């Protein structure tokens, strides 16, 4: 019996040694690089602002770089996570919604906040405006610089995206030529644009191609609408997420460090790694995780006549003149099955 016990002790010590040798670099990555306390992530929710066992994070995608209006939000998504049900939902917000307070479209909120030169002003204003639309408290925000996003996609080796329908955009803006006078002879300023085309079906995209896919807004038909562009952006984000998950499954500390450096360079946020770790821990340890995508359909909005009321802009306003129906719809969908089974919420 003593011999068996000795062998068990030896076996346990050997396993522990192997674990320390293999896991120590990764533990150091989590604690030193990511600044995450595994103990706090596992046993505490302190420091994370929640309501009714839920937390909301606003994600904005800005053009960045030398584009015209680099801080305008091309993508506006609210991520809702419910600790009790282990459901995560993404709520896509149309960028052309009119804001009476800003006297501008909702996609300008972050830009105006940044122009105010107040620390966190962009986040504060964007959270307030989007919260008014969705009817949910939003304590956190993150901004993704799409100009740097292509570097992440290239690092991942490209992504595969299922193009829902073929389309051609003959007026895709060329970076750096926004104010080109085209020699003074072209009244349509065609030199400022290039033609981009995408064919229906599964397509392998590098970073540059993926950015053109999500930014295109001048195609004819459904793909030329704000809602069509939102759907494409969601497809690319999903493809990047899935590719990153595949990479994370491979034990390669160098890749982890490089990936984190890239993410840190293109994302500005006021939610910490420790707070995100608390959410991730719950997703991993709880059973029956569910991901839902909620879209605010065109039928929920009206396109009012272009007039001085909206500074002669093409905008969207809520049907019925207020957001009551949208608030109720979002609340219902979050409490039930999500977008795929929401007929009872309509």
Query: What is the reported pLDDT for 338?
Result: 46
H helices of the chain, in order, are: 2-28, 38-43, 109-115, 121-134, 146-155, 207-215, 226-248, 253-266, 273-285, 324-335
At residue 201, φ and ψ (nearest 5 deg) are 125, 175
Cβ contact 235:162 at 8 Å: yes
Same domain, 333 and 297: yes
Q: Which pair of structure tokens corresponds to residue 175?
A: 């970076």
- Do 20 and 108 sit in the same domain of this protein? no
For residue 15, what are the domain limits? Answer: 1-33
Domain count, the chain: 2
Tens digit of pLDDT at every position of the chain (346 positions): 455 555 555 555 555 454 445 566 777 777 788 888 877 877 777 788 999 999 999 999 887 766 667 888 888 999 999 999 999 999 989 999 999 999 999 999 999 999 887 778 999 999 999 999 999 999 999 998 887 888 899 999 999 999 999 999 998 988 878 777 787 777 777 788 899 999 999 999 999 999 899 888 888 888 988 788 888 888 888 898 888 888 877 777 888 888 888 888 888 999 999 999 899 888 888 888 898 888 888 889 999 999 998 999 999 999 988 999 999 999 999 988 544 444 567 6
From 202, 236, 231, select the one nearest 219 (Cα to Cα): 231
Is the domain of 27 the same as that of 47? Answer: no
Would you state the structure tokens that stand for residue 331, as one six-digit string?
């609340």
Are residues 9 and 81 part of one domain? no
pLDDT of residue 316: 93
- The continuous run of DSSP H or E covering 76 comes out as strand 73-82
Residue 339: its pLDDT value, please? 45
Same domain, 26 and 136: no
DSSP conformation letters of 156-202: TT-EEEEE-S-EEEEEEEPTT-TT--GGGT-TT-GGGEEEEEE-SEE
The reported pLDDT for the residue numbered 89 is: 93
pLDDT at 118: 77
Residues 6+ apart with CB under 8 A from 336: 342, 344, 345
Contacts of 306 (CB under 8 A, 6+ apart): 312, 313, 314
21 and 76 both lie in a single domain: no
The enclosing H or E element of 295 equals: strand 290-295
Strand partners, 220: none
Same domain, 162 and 256: yes
Q: Are residues 11 and 100 in the same domain?
A: no
Instruction: Output the CA angle 31-33-36, nearest 5 degrees.
Output: 35
Residue 29: closest CA among 218, 315, 255: 255
Give the pLDDT score at 17: 52
- What is the arrangement of strands in the sheet containing 140-145, beginning at the earlier edge strand? 267-269, 140-145, 54-62, 73-82, 87-92, 290-295
Residue 160 sits in a domain of what CATH number?
A: 3.40.630.190
Q: Provide the 3-class DSSP secondary structure of residue 248.
A: helix
Distance between start and end Cα atoms, the chain: 69
Indicate if 214 and 321 belong to the same structural domain. yes
Q: Are 237 and 214 in contact (CB under 8 A)?
A: no
Q: Are residues 149 and 69 in the same domain?
A: yes
- Evaluate whether 67 touches 147 at the Cβ level (below 8 Å): yes
Q: Are 173 and 193 in contact (CB under 8 A)?
A: yes
Total-model pTM: 0.81
70 and 138 share one domain: yes
Round to whole Å and give the CA distance between 179 and 189.
Answer: 9
Residues 126 and 23 in one domain: no
What's the confidence (pLDDT) of residue 297?
85
Which pLDDT value is given to residue 250? 78
């Amino acid at each position: 019996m003593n011999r068996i016990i000795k062998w068990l002790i030896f076996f346990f010590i050997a396993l522990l040694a192997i674990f320390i040798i293999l896991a120590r670099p990764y533990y150091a990555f989590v604690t030193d690089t990511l600044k995450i306390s595994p103990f706090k992530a596992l046993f505490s929710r302190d420091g994370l602002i929640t309501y009714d066992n839920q937390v909301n994070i606003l994600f904005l995608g800005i053009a960045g770089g030398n584009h015209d209006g680099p801080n305008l939000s091309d993508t506006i998504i609210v991520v809702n996570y419910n600790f009790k049900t282990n459901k995560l939902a993404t709520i896509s917000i149309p960028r052309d919604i009119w804001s009476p307070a800003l006297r501008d479209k909702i996609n300008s909120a972050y830009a105006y906040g940044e122009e105010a030169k107040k620390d966190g002003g962009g986040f504060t204003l964007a959270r307030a405006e989007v919260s008014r639309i969705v009817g949910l408290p939003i304590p956190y925000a993150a901004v993704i610089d799409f100009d740097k996003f292509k570097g992440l996609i290239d690092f991942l080796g490209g992504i595969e995206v299922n193009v829902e329908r073929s389309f051609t955009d003959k007026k895709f803006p060329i970076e750096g030529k926004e104010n080109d006078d085209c020699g003074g002879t072209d009244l349509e300023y065609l030199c400022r644009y290039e033609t981009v085309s995408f064919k229906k079906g599964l397509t392998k995209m590098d970073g540059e191609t993926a950015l053109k896919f999500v930014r295109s807004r001048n195609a004819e038909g459904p793909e030329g609408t704000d809602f069509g562009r939102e759907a494409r952006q969601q497809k690319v984000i999903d493809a990047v997420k899935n590719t990153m998950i595949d990479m994370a499954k491979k034990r390669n500390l160098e890749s982890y460090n490089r990936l984190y450096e890239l993410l840190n360079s293109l994302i500005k946020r006021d939610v910490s790694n420790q707070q995100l770790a608390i959410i991730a821990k719950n997703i991993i340890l709880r059973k029956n995780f569910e991901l839902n995508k909620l879209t605010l359909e065109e039928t929920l909005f009206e396109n009012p006549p272009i007039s001085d009321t909206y500074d002669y802009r093409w905008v969207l306003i809520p049907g019925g003149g207020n957001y009551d129906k949208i608030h109720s719809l979002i609340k219902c969908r979050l409490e039930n099955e999500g977008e795929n089974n929401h007929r009872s919420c309509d």
